[in-house]
Amino acid sequence: MNWKILKTEEEYSKAVNRTMEIFHAEDGTPESDELDILLLLVKDYEEKHIQIPEVDPIEAIKLKMEEKGLKDKDLIPIIGSKGHVSSILSGRRELTLKMAKKLKDYFQLPSDIFLHSA
């Protein structure tokens, strides 16, 4: 198939399906060349038409705490006193840059999660 810029969801869907079909194409084959083109086209379509929702840093922290079985008190060494932890997790107090860095490192979260809040 001669691929072109993806403009509709139907074209996008076809491109994604074809990408999955030939994903393990051997280098130097026509399928490998087609895969390279498809990956660019799919990425372009997604950047233009698919918005990824912004992640709330507090919700990300709470999710990570739940995954690890942590309680609020477990964040005292990172954030500070029990009152600070409670204020941060309830949204009554803003994260500081220092807290955001420590939490990012502790939970291995991407830093851009904290950019709009710190």
pLDDT tens per residue, range 12-68: 999 999 999 999 999 999 999 999 999 999 999 999 998 877 889 999 999 999 999
- For 57-113, give the CATH class: mainly alpha
HEC profile of 26-85: CCCCHHHHHHHHHHHHHHHHHHHHCCCCCCCHHHHHHHHHHHHCCCHHHHHHHHCCHHHH
Domain ranges in the chain? 9-49, 57-113
Mean pLDDT of the chain: 91
Please report which confidence band the pLDDT of residue 116 belongs to, taking 50, 70 and 90 as the band edges: low
Percent of the chain with pLDDT strictly greater than 90:
80
pLDDT at 118: 42
